[in-house]
Every structure is written in C-alpha cells, then in structure tokens.
Amino acid sequence: MSGETLYSISRKYGVAESEILFHNPAAKNLRAGSKIVVPTTITDKVGTIVPAVLNKSRDYFEHIIESGETMWGTTRKYKVSEEELKGLNPALRTGFQAGVVIRIPVKKEVATTQAKPVNNDAFLKHSVQKGETLFGLSSKYSLTISEIRKYNPILENRNLVWGETILIPEKLNSNMVQFEVENEVDSIEQVEAFYKVELPVEIPESCKTDEFSVYSNSTYNIALFLPLYLEANDTLNRESLNEELTDSLALLEIEIVQDTTIEQEERKELFKRFYGSSESFVQFYEGVLLAVDSMQKAGMQIKLNVFDTQRNADSIQQFIYSEDFLETDLIIGPVYQSVQNEVAKIAAKNRIPIVSPLEAQSDIIRSNSQYYQIRPSREYIAERTAEMIAEEYFNSNFIVVRTKEYQGTAEGKLVELIQEKFFNTGFLSKRNGVSFTVYDFKNEGSFGLRRIMSKRKENVVFIPSNNEGELSVAISNVNNLADDYSITLIGSNRFQNFQSIDIEQYHNLKLKYIAPYWVDYKNPATIQFIEKFKEKFGTEPSSFGAQGFDATFYFLNALKYFGKNFDECLPFLHVNLVQGNYHFEKVSQFGGYMNKGVSVISYNRDYEVERKRVKGQPTLVVEN
C-alpha cells in the first residue's frame, strides 16, 4: 500500500526487517504495489534469535552478520560452501551486510561432534527446546555463557539447534564425589578432571601422530632470525664475546652462523649491560635453546642456524639468497617487519613455513600462505573482548568512562563492537537486560559516577584510553566506589605493565581482560621450565624466554609428527606450552595463519589472579 515502509510492515506483523529481506531481497527498494512474503516470526519475546528446528527439512541455526565478518571467513568458520549459504540465504546474493540474520546449515555436526563427559555424574543432559537461547539457559542454570560453551565446545562457533543435547555441569556437593587433596593445586586438578569433557573427532590418516613416522628420523634445518646486536653488546661490555660463545655447541650440537650462540653458564658475567632491547631477544634465544635441547633428547635431529639481524635486512642478504638456505625446513623470526618482509618473500616462494613470534600487526599474513603469526592481532583481541563482555554481562549496568574523545581510536572501535554485541543479544536497554551509559569523566569529574551506579546489577566499567596517566586517575576514582557497589573493570593485558596504578585497585575492581599469554605458576611443567632455565642461564626467564620456548617447541613437534607440510594437521596437534594456548586458523583464502588461542584473565578480591576461560583447542579423542 502507498505509504507503507519496510519498518512499518515489520512493526505491523512483528517480524524483523532482516527476516523480511531474507525472503524478499528486492524489498530494500519497496514501492507501492509490490508483493512480498511476510514470514512468521523467528524471534523470542526479548528479540534474541531463537534456534532452528533440527529435522530433515530445516537443519540450520541463525547467525547475525557482525562488523568485519566476510563471506569467506563465514564459510570457513562453519565449513559450508558459498553456494550453500547463498542458496539458503537469497539476500547474500546482493552483498554481505552487518546486521543481517542468515541461516547456517548444520549438516551432520550435531550428531557426530557433541562433547562426551568423562564422568557422567558431573553433568545433566539438556535437550534444547524451541525458543531456548544461550542467554536463557545461562539464567536458568545460573551459569555464564562461557561456562556452557566450555563444556560444549561445538557452541564456540554457533548458536543452539533445537533437538540437540548439551551438557550442563552439576554443582559440586559432598554427596557427589570425595576428593583426597593435599594442597590447592591438587584440588584444582581433581575438580577439572571431574568435569572433563572430550570432543570425538575423526583424524585424517595423514595427521595421526606416530613416534616412528617417516618424519621422526629426518634431520631438520631451523633458521632463527633475531636482533641480538652482538657487536654492539661486545663493545658495550668491553669484552670479546667471540671466544666465549662456542661452548654451548658441545651441549646442543648447534651450527653457528655469525657466531651467535651464547655461552650458557656465564651469561651473567658476560652481559653486564645490554644494548637497547637486546636483552629480551637474548632471553628469547635462550628459550629456543631449551626447546631444541628437549626435542633432541626426545630423539629429534636438529640443525639450528642463528642469524643476528640487528635491524637491517642487508645484514642477512647473502645468507637468505644462498642455495644452502633453500634447504631450511622452518624459519622463526625475524622480529622487525622491515627484515621480516625480505625473509617472508623467500619463504613464500620456496614453501618454507615462517613463524612470526612477536609481531601482531603484519600485512604479510594476508597474502603469504606459509606465514604463522603467534601473537593475535589487536582487532581479534578486541572482538574476543566484546564477545566476552556480551556473554557474561548481558544483564549488567555497563558504563563507558570517557576521559577524552575516543572516536576513531582502537579503544573507540572496541566501544562500538561492545554496543553491537549487546544489540545483537536483544538485551540492550531491556528492563532485565543491559543498560549502556557513556559518562563524561573529563568534564564532569567523579561527582556524577555514584549517580549512575547500580545496587541491583553488576557495574561493568570500561575506560577507552591507552594513556597510563588518564587511566590511573579514572581507575582511582572508580575504585573509591568499590566498597559500596559491585564493580568489574574491563582492561587489557597492558594494564599489568602500568607502574603508577596500585595493583590493589585491580583486585578491588575485579579487573578482567583477554590475553594471548598467561603463565600458570602452579603448573608442574611451568615449574620445571623455570628451574631448567635458571640452571642453564643463571637467571629467571622473562615472557620473552617463555615465548622462545613455546614457539620453538610447538613447531618442532609439528615438524616431527607431520613433516614440513603441517598446516592442515595443526588442529590435531596438542602440545603443553608454558604461557600459550595455540590455536591457528587461516585468516584469508590465500593468506597465512593466526593464533586465536586466548584466555580470560580475572583479578579477584582475594588477591588472586586466575585464568577463568581458555579459547583454544578442546581435548580431542579419536573415534574408533
């Protein structure tokens, strides 16, 4: 009819505009006299998307396209073809727009990839009913959405499907199980074992690990590129290191290039001072040595070639363009992008896997299929942060404390992502949902903060700034209210480096953030690594030392079990690391892989710091 709009029709029939467009792509340009199909509603009473029916004709679930998502990424994530998606979602034939609800076919995954509890008494089994959502189940069972997903790994990448059965952890009580514990670590391990779940998987023959595989007996050439600045350190310490830097050969049987191996027992005496940031890279190198040593003791044959890149690509030109370099099986580094670009070209051309251990923002990953980026990008960390907030605080009082204009900044983009996530839950500004307030701290100071705090809901505070001074002042003022209100502060892994902020405030405000690295000092493997590092090098390992060990140990295991073409087998590689939880995913059709294994780090009011949740690889068991 004349005067009708897509919005008015949506309100009239109680159907989302995106659902009308799904069935009528041409309705974007609605005209008088047009005929359209109005479907029955697929939303529940609070506006959240409900699951699809699981039957022969409608095996799908709903997904809301979010900012930054692409057609290729969605097909890869859900293991469907582009044509399948377009066939089920006609609106996708004209574009891939944020906010559109699309249907994802489930195929056989519901029947074949459900998690199995090791202990059946630890869980009740819930059959998903029509209209149920993760948010509803979260409230029903007094669990966070992240806890539900933890025990149902298939839900990490999709919503619920009607008819499927999911695991709900039972609350521990004295009648269920008796633990014999001697210490806190033992208690934690036994509780985790009690609630352990496994995800059945069919591993391809080419990815089945075997200690006696053809790859185990090969000798692998590893190239390590680091800015060690040996000459500068030599001059700075007024000693000639060249005569002292060969003793570790006998221990590790490593081939030196440019005399870069550092004598282990006397490092403290040799390095009184360090040039620039080279101490961090020396620690990284020492972590590499420990990983090589561990793999050699496990029977792996390794030749390690070390290159001191400094910060100049010219210093390595003669080596990377030599015939010998083409025999390289794995490249670790370089650190600086100007040098990395040069090495990455050789790696791509000759199909040599190249591991970027420290760089987070490299354009190389978009076009080099041999590139492995260990440190997740800032954009990915922001996405996971917004996801965590929406899942855990969809019924909170969310407050953005603005210390300056943040539009266009990385922090400002995170605010937009959080708002988008809340909107997609359907709980934004609902009475029993989340309220979203931007408070002008710069102009109003601290006086109005108490006015917008809630006694009934959790007050979740985010300060969109990366300036330590601004953060220190704002956090201090929010902390003054911590005795009267329950407050959670959302931050980043940079917060632990801010010296001007009292760590007690983090605990009072229950600081929470997403981090790619976290060291569990109660883990026996971590304790063993630290002791071995101190024994070999006479010093405590920094995060660089742990990173050097993790990166090298992980990819040496990949070579040992799967050979040089290990990319498709990494989902089936499980290695115990010191500070990481690697989970590599391809970032684009012709690009490389980025580690998407992250953790949720939480400070609590008992002055403990805990890893509450890990997003990485679930425990896999082979189907017989």
Find how far residue 562's CA is from the centre of its chain. 24
Q: What is the amino acid identity at position 431?
A: R
Distances (CA, A) of 302 to 115, 228, 555: 38, 21, 12
286, 284, 241: which is closest to 264 by C-alpha?
286
Sheet with 330-332, side-by-side order of all strands = 301-308, 219-226, 330-332, 354-356, 371-373, 593-595, 584-586
Phi–psi pair at 373, nearest 5 degrees = -100, 115
Phi–psi pair at 259, nearest 5 degrees = 50, 55
Sequence-separated (6 or more) residues with CB below 8 Å from residue 234: 240, 241, 242
Tokens of 208: 């089945």
Q: What is the mean pLDDT of each run of 10 residues along the chain (624 residues)?
A: 63 59 60 62 38 48 83 86 88 85 71 71 88 84 85 80 86 56 57 79 77 70 90 66 41 42 41 75 94 93 90 79 91 90 92 93 90 95 92 91 93 93 76 86 91 95 95 96 96 92 96 92 89 92 95 95 90 89 90 93 93 65 46
CA distance 483 to 471: 20
Residue 141 CB burial class (10 angstroms; 0-12, 13-18, ≥19)? middle
pLDDT of res. 20: 66
266, 222, 211: which is closest to 244 by C-alpha?
266
Q: List % helix, strand, coil for the chain (3-state, nearest 5).
A: 40, 15, 45
Which H or E element spans position 558?
Answer: helix 543-562
CA distance 269 to 373: 35
Tokens of 319: 């080596």
pLDDT of res. 91: 85
Which H or E element spans position 1?
Answer: none
Domains of the chain (ranges, CATH numbers): 6-107 (3.10.350.10), 110-201 (3.10.350.10), 219-376+523-563 (3.40.50.2300), 379-515 (3.40.50)
Block residue for tokens 């690697």: 582
Sequence-separated (6 or more) residues with CB below 8 Å from residue 24: 36, 37
* 134 SS3 class: helix
